[in-house]
Structure 1
Amino acid sequence: MWSLLKHPVFGRLFAAQVVALLGTGLLTVALGLLAFDLAGAGAGAVLGTAYAIKMVAYVGLSPVAGALVANLPRCPVLIGADLVRAGVALFLPFITEVWQIYLAIFLLQTASATFTPTFQATIPDVLSDEDDYSRALSLSRLAYDLENLLSPALAGVLLLMMSYHWLFGGTVVGFAFSALLILGTALPARKPVRDRPFRARLTRGIHIYLATPRLRGLLALNLTAAAAGAFVIVNTVVVVRSGFGGTDRDVAIALACFGAGSMIAALALPALLKRLSDRPVMLFGAALLCVLMIGQAFITPVWPVLLLLWALTGIGYATTLTPQGRLLRRSAHAEDRPAVFTAQFALSHACWLVTYPLAGQAMTAWGMGPTLGILGVAGTTGVLLALRLWPEGDPVVIPHRHDDLPPDHPHLEKHGRTHAHAFVIDDEHHAWPTNG
């Protein structure tokens, strides 16, 4: 897996992802402490609202941004988004009001709604081999785990020497360095796409996504992951500071345990996915999250047990989400992948748009147990929907018949009216075969 870092393009992209996420991790810790300073025990509600605003930007703006930049070179798009994020982060240390947190989050995540889907859709074009791409997904998951593991640890060290306001400077450095790394990288050109109206570009990814059974199942599993993840991200500072009387460093330790669990899963997944298909692996991770949430609804853990539960939640979270890129890659032609990755970005964050404010508001109103019970029910609903929407077996090559195409259509001349091939939704295949 680590040999991929020698790849001249992927290695630089991975480094850019790592430094940007380290900065984002410092932002997460600092933002939680800032919210606690401004709102005290109501910090959960403030963070829940802030992250809901983040999701509104992701859900509402990512399809628009994806359609606008669909024909633009990737390098300027990624660098421009990084520079916008760095510019916004410069103003974060000067926030003194809750509404300013909300505005800064919206501006920051508007740029991320352009950067992240473009970045994710670039990797399959860089690494064409399926095993290499699977390993790249695990490395990418590890990069995200650095946000949950190394960033809180680094924040804990820095907090011994300085105010948390200085942590925002790390965010600026992370985005700026990411832009520099991308600037020196020869990214592959976008695949040629048909010239489509803006409205068609806007909706194409979501149409392909929702018409593909495995991706509908993925969306349901995203609900489960969002339910568990939202509680950890929004309420760790409240649970640790108010529930356990902990310090800022204890908050960082709890978040680091979540990241450590996620990292363990990411390291194990490449070998596991060689023996098992994506569906049972992802369903196991989601089921683990449900058991943990519902179990904690009825118990009050002591501090060491809480850290263990946070680590197990990280394992379930990464196991549920890490293989998703494999499903997206398998479900679209190369020219449609950016649109499908953008659809995944928007639709998955629609789940977070529900769970972020739910986690914050319920925690403020009813406390830890009832909140985890509610989120556990939401997560279980996601697992049950995935079982129904994502058929067991899930073949790539599917027999099907075209009664909707004229006899002289090039697709029929090549394959015949009844045939089998790797099936994806495209201009010749508008609906998923239901009976072969």
Structure 2
Amino acid sequence: MELFRDKRYRHLFSAQVIALIGTGLTTVGLALLASELAGNRAGEVLGAALAIKMIAYVVIAPVVGAYATRLPRRALLVALDLMRALVVVSLPFVTAVWQVYVLIFLLNTFSAGFTPVFQATIPDIFEDEHRYTKALSMSRLAYDLENLLSPLSAAMLLAVMSFNALFVLNAAAFMLSALLVVSVSLPSSQVPPKVVGGVWARLSQGVVLYLRTPRLRGLLALNVAVASAGAMQIVNTVVYVRHVLGEGETSVAIAFAAAGSGSMLIALLLPRLLKRLNQRAVMLAGGMLMSASLFGGLLSPGFHGLLLLWLVLGAGSSMVMTPSGRLLKQSCQADERPTLFAAQFSLSHACWLIGYPLAGWLGASQGMTVAFAVLGVMALVSTLAAMQLWPAH
């Protein structure tokens, strides 16, 4: 592919894939660590850790975005990778739940710094929109591959080693990612725009720019739809498959893979689709597909029906998320990209911070039918709001 002829992108994409697979191993290892420390309270520990992760993303990303243009990109990305490696390699030594919470907050603090800076670098490598759209699709594919490959890799590794080794492998992945980043020269950050005011003005600049832009207000509403659908799928798949349908662990993995497959399919097709179709129409259609998938859950589907619903849900999610970087690039000057990408990172994860606990509480206390209904209504209302907030013209 033409994208990989550019050494900078080739190394950055490889760094992203390696770091994501390593992070996926830690996700599995963390579940097993929580089980070892908390026993039957493992779900409670994991839920709290996930909430801490989202809080770190929401709070830290705007801070990094505000000052990212004043720091050398390559040095910042390498330093954050090394700090992530240091935190992950500490996980095998924890002896109490509170230590897990502290390390998860630190790990995701550094990730909240790394991801928006990484995302804001790609449009500086590919200035033309067609190649940048392809790069966004490749980035989405990397996330989907991680969702499919990491659990399978972890299962094979756990057959021959303890779960603590997964943390060590993740640390090695972060270090390899740092080596790949340091091996190329990255485009310099643009001269930062002048900000009138003090620290708060600098921190809020990206969010203010985001909320002033009609198409990005629409994107924020669609982020709510993605979080509503994604939280239902991520949090309640294991409950629905194991306890409602009575299927085994393999079926849980297949159900997760169905959503990833739908997302991958769209990520592969989207560069061609966006040549022919308006991106607003594609993204709004994605919101409608996610809503339809959730309402389909009201029919109490069997296992194969659930696979179809999750395939559609994954496709709809990718139709919204894959073009979002293109939308951000179109909505700002080059010198505003770091703060705007940081604002998207923070605001989108704020939506997940609402979606995750809501999906868990609804599923546990009200039942799957109510969870499907409430989150389906949220996804539909958010998509309809996006239509109003993002005018066609």
The AA in structure 2 aligned to 1:65 is V
SS at match of 2:300: coil
Partner Cα distance (1:385, 1:34) in 2? 41
| Residue 123 of structure 1: how far off its partner (Å) | 0.5
Cα deviation code 1:395-419 (max 9, x no counterpart): xxxxxxxxxxxxxxxxxxxxxxxxx
The whole-number CA distance in structure 1 between the counterparts of 2:288 and 2:20 is 27
Alignment partner, residue 86 of structure 1: 85
Task: Give, as a single letter, the amino acid of the residue that structure 1 aligns with 2:140.
Answer: R
Structure 1 residues 205 and 77 mapped into 2: Cα distance closer, same or farther (>3 Å)?
A: same
Which amino acid counterpart does residue 381 of structure 1 have in structure 2? V
Q: 1:362 to 1:375 in 2, by over 3 A?
A: same
Look at both structures and tell me which one has the larger radius of gyration over its CA atoms. Answer: 1
Structure 2 unpaired stretches of 5+:
none
Task: For residue 86 of structure 1, report the CA deviation from its aligned partner.
Answer: 1.2
Separation (CA, whole Å) in 1 of partners of 2:301 and 2:7: 47
Q: What's the offset of the Cα at 1:84?
A: 1.3
Q: Do the aligned partners of residues 111 and 200 (structure 1) sit closer, same or farther apart at CA in structure 2, a change above 3 Å counting?
A: same
TM-score (norm 1): 0.84
How far off is 1:79 after superposition?
0.9
Structure 1 residue aligned with 2:284: 283
**1:226 touches 1:355 (CA, 8 Å); kept in 2?**
yes
The aligned counterpart of 1:338 is 338
Check conservation: 2:57, 2:108, Cα contact below 8 A.
yes
Distance 1:308 1:182, change over 3 A: same
Correspondence list, 1:149-168, <5 A: 149-168=148-167
2:36 maps to 1:3: no
1:72 corresponding residue in structure 2: 71
Per-residue deviation at 1:336?
0.6
The answer to whether residue 103 in structure 2 is matched with residue 115 in structure 1 is no
1:63 aligns with 2:49: no
Is 1:13–1:181's contact at 8 Å kept on the other side of the alignment?
yes
1:348 has 2:360 as partner: no
Q: Does 2:212 align with 1:211?
A: yes
Q: 1:103 to 1:367 in 2, by over 3 A?
A: farther
Separation of aligned partners in 1, 2:238 and 2:93: 21
State the partner residue of 1:312. 312
- The structural deviation recorded for 1:38 is 5.6
Residue 192 of structure 1 and its aligned partner are, at CA, apart by: 1.5
TM-fit CA distance, 1:193: 2.2
Give the aligned residue type for 2:25. L
2:214 is aligned with 1:193: no
Aligned partner letter, 1:6: R
Residue segments in structure 1 that go unaligned for 5+ positions in a row: 394-436
1:40: Cα distance to partner?
6.6
Deviation string, structure 1 residues 365-406 (Cα, Å, up to 9, x no partner): 23322222222122112111101100013xxxxxxxxxxxxx
Match runs of 1:28-427 below 5 Å: 28-35=27-34, 44-95=43-94, 97-196=96-195, 197-244=198-245, 248-296=249-297, 298-393=298-393
| Residue 316 to residue 41, structure 1, CA distance change in 2 (3 Å) | farther
Q: In the superposition, relative to structure 1, how do residues 100 and 351 fare at CA in structure 2: closer, same or farther (>3 Å)?
A: same
CA contact (8 A) 1:48 1:358 kept: no
Residues in 1 aligned to 2:36 and 2:117: alpha-carbon distance in whole angstroms:
36
In the alignment, the residues of structure 2 paired with residue 315 and residue 34 of structure 1 have an alpha-carbon distance, to the nearest angstrom, of: 32
Q: In the superposition, relative to structure 1, how do residues 78 and 191 fare at CA in structure 2: closer, same or farther (>3 Å)?
A: same
Aligned AA (1:210): L
Q: What is the CA deviation profile of residues 223-266 of structure 1, one whole-angstrom value per residue up to 9, with x for unaligned ones?
A: 00011112222333444444455555544333222212111110
Post-superposition Cα deviations, 1:309-340, rounded to whole Å, max 9, x if no partner, equal: 32222111111110001110000000011111
Deviation at 1:129, TM superposition (A): 0.9
Report if the CA contact (8 A) 1:47-1:234 is conserved.
no
Cα deviations across residues 180-222 of structure 1 (Å, max 9, x unaligned)? Answer: 1101111011111244343332121111110000000000000
Q: Give how far 1:97 is off.
A: 4.5
Paired residue secondary structure (1:190): coil
Separation in 1, partners of 2:102, 2:46: 13
Q: Is the 8 A contact 1:33 1:164 kept in 2?
A: yes
1:22 shift after superposition: 0.8
CA deviation after TM superposition for structure 1 residue 308, in Å: 3.0
Give the AA of the match of 1:334.
A
C-alpha displacement of 1:28: 2.6
Over 3 Å counting, the alpha-carbon distance change for 1:9 and 1:335 in structure 2 is same
1:1-55: per-residue Cα shift (whole Å, max 9, x none)?
A: x321121111111111110111122223333444456667765554333222111
Gap change, CA 1:31 and 1:237, over 3 Å in 2: farther
2:54·2:352 contact (CA, 8 Å) conserved in 1?
A: yes
Given that residues 86 and 171 in structure 2 are in contact (C-alpha distance below 8 angstroms), is that contact kept between their aligned partners in structure 1?
Answer: yes
Q: Are 1:44 and 1:238, in contact at CA under 8 Å, matched by a contact in 2?
A: no
Q: 1:193 to 1:204 in 2, by over 3 A?
A: same
**Which residue in the other structure is 1:414 paired with?**
none
Q: Contact between 2:296 and 2:309, CA under 8 Å: does it hold in 1?
A: no
| Backbone CA RMSD of aligned residues | 2.1
- State the AA in 1 paired with 2:260: G
Please state which structure has a larger fraction of its residues in helix: 2
- What TM-score does the superposition give when structure 2 sets the normalisation length? 0.92
Tell me by how many angstroms 1:169 deviates.
2.9
Alpha-carbon distance change, 334 to 344 in structure 1, aligned in 2, over 3 angstroms: same
**Structure 1 residues 38, 292: closer, same or farther in 2, change over 3 A?**
farther
Judged with a 3 Å threshold, the aligned counterparts in structure 2 of structure 1 residues 92 and 310 are, in CA distance, closer, same or farther, namely farther
C-alpha contact 1:46 1:360 (8 A) present in aligned 2: no
Count of residues paired in the alignment: 391
- Would the aligned equivalents of 2:65 and 2:343 in 1 still touch at CA under 8 Å? no
